[in-house]
């Protein structure tokens, strides 16, 4: 793109949420940049599930260019007239509906990830089919090499390339610090409609968590059911569930789940949830074999204390991958992108000293904040009680709406 002001040229590897937010910030300020995405097309990459964006929305909106479209259709609940609601249930203790319900006084959005990424792609050039394989950095420039034999050279390289980041690998001189968690998790996507969907919306408009015990050996399970998006008819939608539990062997490559079939995963989920009330267990019963993720997700945490300072930096999961149990991963990727965007727009020239002057404070704050969030997410899994707070608000007993679609 043609910059409107003199500035270094920024290369962004990764077209996920963090990379796209950074691109929009740079576009607004006329900073020269390119974004490279490994997927061959816009929606070829796995999108993931709906994300709760909280505590950063006002800052995000303010940082975006003026030509961004409205956001009212990004929410997972659109076109239903329901607000964000996240609830908790502990059947062995109480069946009260406890949780957080949006009250209109706080900027919070649980966005369908696909819709949110489409919004971020507005007027943003992204080059597809570019899988980074190597980085070369010297005093005057940085070059990223791609799997197809091409390369790109710039003044600054940002790795927004996820948990298995090639850019991070370069910064750490090949060291792999990704740490598998000893948490096993079975995941399924499923489509429901009508009265079945209304029942799930009553349990939690957006999502709910059930903590209960089941076989084998009275294991404690965390069962998360979430709405990904409502269909245009407002009477059906895409849901997903995660069934997670502590397993000291889950981090091993030879764990039984790494080679399990969809039928084996479904059978385990059915046995594990056999003691749960039917309104919860029914989602496992409805899931078809083709709905299960095979092989299952393996949860990874990345904890970094420091990074070398130069022309290269990282953001998001590349810097501080975390488990999903506090819904913080996407929020911190956005915070990283906003902070880094502010730093890069302040860089006056392409000299190494001018660049590191601004990257240094960014990295220090980002790593401290991201590490704390990742550690808190690890701790959250160990807590089997209903939390006292969520998104800075107290957890409350909530009414059942008796929704009809």
Q: Is 392 contained in some domain? A: no
User: In Å, how far are 268, 275, 321, 337, 357 from 140, measured between CA atoms?
Assistant: 56, 63, 30, 24, 15
pLDDT band at 114 (very low <50, low <70, confident <90, very high): very high
89 part of a folded domain: no
- 267 with 119, same domain? no
CA distance 206 to 333: 22
Burial class, 291, CB count within 10 angstroms (exposed 0-12 / middle 13-18 / buried 19+): middle
Considering the domain architecture, whether residues 328 and 270 belong to the same structural domain is answered as no
Answer yes or no: do 209 and 291 share one domain: yes
**Do 186 and 170 sit in the same domain of this protein?**
no
Same domain, 259 and 117: no
The pLDDT tens digits for 305-342 are: 999 999 999 999 999 999 999 889 999 999 999 999 99
Mark whether 163 and 194 lie in a shared domain: no
Residue 338 lies in a domain: yes
Q: What is the CA radius of gyration of the chain?
A: 22
- Is the separation of the CB atoms in 146 and 36 below 8 Å? yes
Whether residue 37 contacts residue 59, with contact meaning beta carbons closer than 8 Å, is answered with: no
Residue 107 pLDDT: 76
Instruction: Look at residue 44 in the predicted model and tell me its pLDDT.
Output: 57
- Whether residue 356 sits in one domain with residue 291: no
Distance CA 74, CA 112 (A): 6
Q: Are residues 186 and 268 in the same domain?
A: yes
Q: Do both 161 and 172 map to the same domain?
A: yes
State how far the alpha carbon of 245 is from the alpha carbons of 128, 181, 182, 277, 381, in Å.
37, 11, 9, 18, 9
Residues 158 and 269 in one domain: no
Is residue 265 a part of any domain in this protein? yes
Residue 259, in any domain of the structure = yes
**pLDDT digits over 155-201, tens only?**
999 999 999 999 999 999 999 898 899 999 999 999 999 999 999 99
Co-location of 195 and 166 in the same domain = no
Domain contains 397: no
Q: Which domain holds residue 165?
A: 10-71+112-178+301-382
Structural domain tally of the chain? 2
pLDDT at 1 over 50: no
**pLDDT tens digit sequence for 188-228:** 999 999 999 999 999 999 999 999 999 999 999 999 999 99
For residue 215, give the CATH number of its domain. 3.30.9
**In a shared domain, residues 23 and 124:** yes
At 47 the pLDDT is: 60
């Amino acid at each position: 793109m043609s910059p409107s002001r003199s500035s270094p040229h920024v290369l962004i590897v990764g077209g996920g949420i963090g990379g796209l937010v950074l691109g929009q910030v740079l576009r607004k300020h006329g900073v020269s940049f390119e974004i490279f995405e490994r997927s061959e097309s816009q929606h070829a990459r796995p999108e993931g599930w709906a994300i709760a964006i909280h505590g950063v929305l006002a800052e995000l909106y303010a940082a975006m260019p003026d030509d961004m479209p409205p956001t009212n259709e990004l929410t997972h609940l659109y076109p239903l007239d329901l607000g964000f609601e996240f609830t908790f249930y502990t059947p062995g203790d109480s069946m009260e509906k406890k949780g957080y319900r949006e009250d209109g006084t706080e900027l919070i959005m649980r966005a369908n990830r696909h819709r949110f990424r489409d919004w971020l792609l507005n007027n943003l050039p992204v080059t597809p089919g570019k899988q980074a394989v190597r980085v070369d950095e010297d005093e005057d420039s940085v070059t990223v090499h791609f799997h197809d034999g091409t390369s790109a050279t710039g003044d600054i390289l940002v790795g927004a390339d996820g948990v298995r980041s090639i850019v991070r690998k370069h910064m750490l001189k090949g060291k792999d610090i990704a740490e598998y968690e000893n948490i096993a998790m079975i995941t399924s996507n499923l489509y429901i409609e009508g009265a079945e969907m209304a029942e799930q919306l009553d349990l939690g408009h957006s999502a709910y968590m059930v903590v209960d015990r089941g076989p084998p050996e009275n294991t404690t399970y965390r069962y998360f059911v979430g709405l990904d998006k409502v269909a245009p008819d407002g009477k059906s939608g895409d849901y997903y569930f995660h069934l997670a539990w502590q397993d000291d062997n889950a981090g091993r490559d030879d764990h039984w789940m790494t080679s399990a079939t969809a039928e084996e995963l479904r059978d385990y989920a059915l046995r594990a949830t056999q003691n749960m009330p039917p309104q919860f267990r029914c989602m496992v019963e409805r899931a078809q074999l083709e709905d299960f993720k095979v092989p299952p997700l393996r949860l990874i945490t990345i904890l970094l204390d420091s990074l070398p300072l130069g022309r290269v930096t990282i953001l998001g999961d590349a810097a501080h991958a975390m488990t999903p149990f506090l819904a913080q991963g996407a929020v911190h990727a956005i915070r990283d992108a906003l902070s880094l965007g502010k730093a890069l727009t302040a860089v006056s020239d392409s000299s190494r000293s001018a660049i590191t002057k601004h990257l240094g404070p960014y990295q220090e704050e980002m790593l401290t904040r991201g590490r704390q969030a990742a550690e808190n997410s690890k701790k959250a899994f160990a807590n089997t009680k209903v939390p006292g707070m969520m998104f800075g608000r107290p957890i409350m007993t909530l009414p059942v709406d008796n929704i009809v679609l």
